[in-house]
Structure 1
Amino acid sequence: MSQSQAKIAGNFYDQTFGIGGVVTFPIDNVAASDFPQAIATLPQNKLLMVTTGDDTSLKMVRLNEDGSLDSSFASGGSVVVPTSRIGYFYANSLDLLPDDKFLVSGAINNTVAIVRQVKDGAPDPSFGENNDGQVSYNVYNFLDSNSYPGASFHSSDAEGEQVDKSTGYSSGVRGVATALDGQIVLTRTIKVGASDFRVIVIRLSENGSLDETFGGKGYVFIASASSEERFSRGVLLQQDGKVLVFFKYNGYVHVIRYNQDGSVDISYGDKGTGIVTIPSINLSSTLTSMALKPGGGVVAAGDNSSVSGRSTLLVSLTSNGSFSKDFNEGQPALSVYSGYSNNVVKSLALQDDGRILVGLAVFVGDSRELVNLVARYLPDGSFDTTFGGGKGFIAFDATEGFFRSLAVLPDHRVVFCGYGRVSGLAGHVVRCLA
């Protein structure tokens, strides 16, 4: 990256955080190889994140506003995620709950796993059949082993993106959502055969057991074709208990909405099917991150592939599943970032004023140098030119490597985490100015 580009990015680092706006591991009892996978904001501008380590352990880490470890949390600011009964898994979701508890979830091979911890990091005794805060489900809790030998949860959350076992990471697709009453909804892809991939939607009750009021068994499959290729892309849980599931099928991204009982909500969309299809632009489109809009509806971000590379795809839907007329004239929006290429969206967050933040990994020009980039959009889908010195985006050269998760503070400062080659391969957290 050129010196001028580095200087532009440097102007936006929050100098009151870490060293020059960046916290690079190791710090105290957090190792360089503790790679952050998901991050969330807490009161007093503190940060909570889940990390994966090279010793196949998961860890919760809490930082103060200045980026130092919060010694009031657990043991010196970090705690190992309890997995003694269910075993290690690749964590890619972190959810904060209204009672100051938090939920970590992910999958490995033929198992999905969820861990709930209380405010101080201890296991939540009200969760899990052994009251140890741990819940896991095998693929054969949902399929007959005789009919589908060798079935497993797909090793990526999107076709073509395999788990990096050296880092314990399984893509940025969000596979879990929580509700105020403690309900948990998960979606995953199950590989049944060589070209047979199916999307399952699972709802758990507050104690982690299957909620059999959903679909009669606690789960439903999208469609029932004997052979198909469907891939889970993410899930959102509305305040009214309805479930929005994003999935990819036949080259298109679709959104389906379920009622609280697990039946398809045919009032969603304009075709009476409960499914909305996102039109594919150029070769292929996908969505990897999504959020509920405060006034109803959703915003989602992902990638659009063409012969010239990848651009960022943004979509805004109303609460009834139609395309928002006040967003890019009712159409999906594509964007590129001057000087960068091959966009791969990893995270999305909404500010309280409706502006949209997207975190992604990009190449510098036509090179293979991978850097992190944060873009901010207005509610209408156009770049927010008050961000990034008039460009609407900031590229962070000091974080060369791998983007994982993004969050926004109440004052609109942005934080993101990942790992990169700042000094060897190390985890890092970055905070930038609003």
Structure 2
Amino acid sequence: MKTKLLFSIFFISILGYAQDGTLDLDFGDGKGYVLTDYQNGDDGIEEFDIQDDGKFISVGYSYDIDNNQQILVFRNLPNGQLDLSFGTDGFTKLDFIQNGKANSIFDLSINKYDNKIYITGYLYDDNEEDNIDIKSEIFIIRLNNLGELDESFNENGILRTSFGFESAGPATSIVFHDDKKFTIPVAIGSINSQVMPALAKFNSDGSLDSSYGDNGISFFEVPNSDLAIIYSIILLDNGSILGTGMSYNFITETGDLLLFKMTSSGNLDLNFGSEGILLKDIDGLNTALDIDTGYNLAVQSDGKIIVAAQYDDEKLAIIRFLNNGTEDFTLIVLRYKSLWEAIMNARDY
């Protein structure tokens, strides 16, 4: 049986690859790819997920002739054809950006427990995405299997919140619990103050789960950190959550890879790392503008943790940790200068 891979690129283009890396000609009318143009505008895909039936859902942006930004969601059949039963002729357009806000989409995931579609990200002042001294808020969108906004979620299918703070974001990931609750990572703070990482756990209706952490939010302070952002979390079998990201110090202008473990009740696991937290300077230089970030992670069958990271602000690394949060020195840190070098060397491991 062939293992098929899907890749999405700008101008809503979706490519299907067979296991050996050649285009899969069973996908996209014998071409191995499909091109989709929505209303003659500029379009692009950010994230996608695959349903159990082989259909796949994508989310991205569409810009009209006046350059107005809209979130666009669509579904394709396993053969690449647009699924016309989804939304309106295969598309769901979401236009909820107001008051000078723009948005960044970070995740699209299908909840296997209820087949609902979740899209997460954050809103920020337009044209100031890189300015940390701006007000921002996260958003969570939930659609049903037909591509309609799910009105049982926060009454209209869309949740926007800063949790009572001046700034919240960026909602980069989401994990689902078997009771249909879900957890997202956020960074919360006030302008010109420390930005702390946190996990926020929600009930299925979009309300915070008051039994978790501090009324639904579990804050934690990272040592010597002014800004900490979580980029990826995974749910373990015992209900604990592992996460990775970046911790930054404004004075030294350095950023370390962040790895942490949270218990199912929303407390740091004190048996992991140093009181639940591990910070790593990947290349050991710790010089100004040396920023190390964990972007994704996975757990092996033996419990060891693999983190995909970037260091020195431009180079790639793969690091393995033991399940207690100490580094596994049986696997040398793999460092690469480019994505292409990482792909080529990955063949040897």
How many positions carry a matched residue from both structures?
A: 324
Residues 162-241 of structure 1: matches in 2 within 5 Å?
174-180=106-112, 181-191=114-124, 195-223=134-162, 225=164, 228-234=166-172, 235-241=174-180
Alignment of 1:302 onto 2:245: yes
Alignment of 1:358 onto 2:307: yes
**Using the alignment, how far apart are the partners of 2:142 and 2:199 within structure 1?**
17
Aligned to 1:150: 100
Deviation at 1:76, TM superposition (A): 5.5
**Using the alignment, how far apart are the partners of 1:84 and 1:385 within structure 2?**
50
**Using the alignment, how far apart are the partners of 1:119 and 1:310 within structure 2?**
42
Percent identical pairs in the alignment equals: 23
Matching residue within 320, 323, 332 for 1:379 = 323
**Using the alignment, how far apart are the partners of 1:432 and 1:247 within structure 2?**
35
Q: Aligned pair in 2 of structure 1 residues 50, 350: CA closer, same or farther (>3 Å)?
A: farther
Post-superposition Cα deviations, 1:12-41, rounded to whole Å, max 9, x if no partner, equal xxxxxxxxxxxxxxxxxxxxxxxxxxxxxx
Unmatched tracts of structure 2, length 5 or more: 63-67, 129-133, 190-194
Aligned to 1:346: 295
Aligned to 2:84: 125
SS at match of 2:327: coil
**Using the alignment, how far apart are the partners of 2:315 and 2:102 within structure 1?**
33
Aligned to 1:11: none
Aligned to 1:138: 95
Post-superposition Cα deviations, 1:245-282, rounded to whole Å, max 9, x if no partner, equal 2221211112111111122110111x3x1100121332
Aligned to 2:46: 92
Contact map agreement 1:91 1:107 (CA 8 A) in 2: yes
Letter in 2 for 1:196: K
SS at match of 2:239: coil
Contact map agreement 2:9 2:44 (CA 8 A) in 1: no
**Using the alignment, how far apart are the partners of 2:55 and 2:327 within structure 1?**
35
Alignment of 1:278 onto 2:220: yes
TM-score (norm 1): 0.66
Aligned to 2:21: 67
Q: Aligned pair in 2 of structure 1 residues 298, 261: CA closer, same or farther (>3 Å)?
A: same
Aligned to 1:12: none
SS at match of 1:328: coil
Letter in 2 for 1:138: D
Deviation at 1:87, TM superposition (A): 4.6
**Using the alignment, how far apart are the partners of 1:396 and 1:378 within structure 2?**
22
Letter in 1 for 2:160: F
SS at match of 1:175: strand
**Using the alignment, how far apart are the partners of 2:70 and 2:57 within structure 1?**
17
Unmatched tracts of structure 1, length 5 or more: 1-42, 141-147, 158-173, 401-417
Contact map agreement 1:316 1:332 (CA 8 A) in 2: yes
**Using the alignment, how far apart are the partners of 1:81 and 1:243 within structure 2?**
33
Residues 252-331 of structure 1: matches in 2 within 5 Å?
252-269=196-213, 271=214, 273-282=215-224, 283-306=226-249, 307=252, 309-328=254-273, 330-331=275-276
Contact map agreement 2:248 2:255 (CA 8 A) in 1: yes
Q: Aligned pair in 2 of structure 1 residues 353, 196: CA closer, same or farther (>3 Å)?
A: same
SS at match of 2:19: coil
Q: Aligned pair in 2 of structure 1 residues 135, 353: CA closer, same or farther (>3 Å)?
A: farther
Contact map agreement 1:176 1:236 (CA 8 A) in 2: no
Q: Aligned pair in 2 of structure 1 residues 83, 238: CA closer, same or farther (>3 Å)?
A: farther
SS at match of 1:342: coil
SS at match of 1:185: strand
Deviates more, 1:289-298 or 1:101-110: 101-110
Q: Aligned pair in 2 of structure 1 residues 302, 99: CA closer, same or farther (>3 Å)?
A: same
Q: Aligned pair in 2 of structure 1 residues 352, 136: CA closer, same or farther (>3 Å)?
A: farther
**Using the alignment, how far apart are the partners of 1:343 and 1:278 within structure 2?**
20
Q: Aligned pair in 2 of structure 1 residues 291, 83: CA closer, same or farther (>3 Å)?
A: farther
Contact map agreement 1:178 1:237 (CA 8 A) in 2: no
Deviates more, 1:188-197 or 1:213-222: 188-197
**Using the alignment, how far apart are the partners of 1:356 and 1:301 within structure 2?**
11
Deviation at 1:323, TM superposition (A): 2.0
Post-superposition Cα deviations, 1:71-120, rounded to whole Å, max 9, x if no partner, equal 33335563235342495444332312211122222346642222222211
Letter in 2 for 1:123: L
Contact map agreement 2:136 2:162 (CA 8 A) in 1: no
Aligned to 2:131: none
**Using the alignment, how far apart are the partners of 1:191 and 1:244 within structure 2?**
21
Q: Aligned pair in 2 of structure 1 residues 85, 324: CA closer, same or farther (>3 Å)?
A: farther
Q: Aligned pair in 2 of structure 1 residues 394, 101: CA closer, same or farther (>3 Å)?
A: same
**Using the alignment, how far apart are the partners of 1:201 and 1:301 within structure 2?**
21
Aligned to 1:161: none
Aligned to 2:279: 334
Contact map agreement 1:81 1:115 (CA 8 A) in 2: no
**Using the alignment, how far apart are the partners of 1:433 and 1:123 within structure 2?**
38
Deviates more, 1:90-99 or 1:67-76: 67-76
Letter in 2 for 1:113: L
Post-superposition Cα deviations, 1:164-222, rounded to whole Å, max 9, x if no partner, equal xxxxxxxxxx3222112320112222236883322222211111111111112212222
Contact map agreement 2:257 2:282 (CA 8 A) in 1: no
Letter in 1 for 2:119: L
Letter in 1 for 2:72: A
